[in-house]
Structure 1
């Protein structure tokens, strides 16, 4: 089965936040994405609310519950107590934990599972008790030892950071090398019983290569490239194009 598409709405929210006005509407564009086949919506609420605001979360939760009950809400973030409280209140189907410093512009590396495994284990178990599936942000060249440590936390999935692959858009040789890393790590993750998600700098052009390297891929979370294409093609057609690119 092709990977499912979760539309990351952070870039939409960042555009909205340039003005003290309610447009573009994060909820309205989320609705268009779901109407056109997206499996879910992803947000990454950072402490400074520079894109997704905390007030967006209950609105998106209600959109899914009221209009698209088969869809999923995925909330990403670093597991501070404040973040975990947001998750508890808004009850996403999936929580993706990332090792971001609050000042980072965007996620750019995976967890040090061997160094942080014990602290992650308690957070993962807390989230699972609340009914969420838990995915952990993971480097694309993760070793077997690292992935074993990820598995030991009790997480359900890893999300491979595909930024290095996305950065090879003008270099086919480097792209092939990055895909090989992902393929190798993906096979280990699958052997260990971890589901695989992926996200960062994915486009209509590079998704087919990723799907070939990771045929077991369950979900892709895409924001920047999808939002950029939506300026040209509109959100509805863009979502359909990305779904086709997933295979």
Structure 2
């Protein structure tokens, strides 16, 4: 199975926002990434617009529609009314709901499905009525009850939070433990009829083992490590390196 690569543009936008200038260009680097073989672009528009700005969304949508119509736009975020309205106006192919507090630096845990079911039930239903594919952020050790709730809500996919796996970059033994958790959770999700994405702290070095453990993985969303590598190798070459790490 081909694992798709979605390039997260948040870190590029954060660098741009350090100055009141239009560079580095979010859409310009997105164009290079897609031309190099990436399958889509991901953004996480937070309420304070500290990286991706709301004004970036129609520009990225137009880039994909006009130049790369076979690629996908994935918008992730906490399902506030403001976020849902942004999604509805932009019409991405995929919406990934994450349980972020607005003050968080980055996503660092999955949904507590039992506690958050009432909230998610209304938000997922609203998105599904409009035809969006919905993915829900899940912890690497989410159990069968959690995933069954995700399925019952109408979610199409989960996105496995791979931060703990990425944090084991200096310990192969700890990385192996985290991989087993991810693989077990993925197997449960597949059995329930959910497709599986993955994201957070994924690198050229740790992707091959993840794909080996979860060969039916649908998509990975990668931003920080990919952007860091792009500073060294350039965006086009970096995307090709990540595709190679995915076995493509």
Q: Please show how residues 97-116 of structure 1 align to structure 2 within 5 Å.
A: 97-116=97-116
Scaled by the length of structure 2, the TM-score of the pair is 0.99
Q: How does 1:112-191 map to 2 (within 5 A)?
A: 112-191=112-191
CA–CA separation in structure 2 for the residues paired with 1:130 and 1:145: 27
* Cα offsets for 1:152-180 (capped at 9, x unmatched): 11000000000000000000000000000
SS in 2 for 1:145: helix
TM-score by length of 1: 0.99
Partner of 1:91: 91
Whether the 8 Å contact between 1:118 and 1:153 is mirrored in structure 2 is no
CA deviations over 1:106-164 (Å, ceiling 9, x no partner): 00000011111222121111111112100000000011111111111100000000000
Matches of 1:33 and 1:128, distance apart in 2:
29
Q: In the alignment, which residue of structure 1 is the partner of 2:35?
A: 35
CA deviation vs aligned residue, 1:175-218 (integer Å, no higher than 9, x gap): 00000000111100000000000000000000001001111100
Partners of 1:113 and 1:213 in 2: how far apart?
25
Q: Could you tell me how far apart the structure 1 residues matched to 2:13 and 2:173 are? A: 35
Secondary structure of 1:32's match?
Answer: helix
SS at match of 1:14: helix
User: Which residue does the alignment assign to 2:221?
Assistant: 221
In 1, the alpha carbon distance for the partners of 2:117 and 2:216 equals: 25
Contact 1:117-1:152 within 8 A present in 2 as well: no
Runs of 4+ in 1 over 2 A off after TM superposition: none
Stretches of structure 1 that go unaligned for 5 or more consecutive residues are none
Matches within 5 A, 1:31-70: 31-70=31-70
Q: Which residue of 1 aligns with 2:212?
A: 212
Q: Would you say how many aligned residue pairs link Structure 1 and Structure 2?
A: 247
Moved more, 118-127 or 234-243: 118-127
Distance 1:2 1:176 in 2: 23
- Give unmatched runs, 5+ long, in structure 2: none
Q: CA RMSD in A?
A: 0.6
Quick one: distance in 2 between partners of 1:122 and 1:54? 24
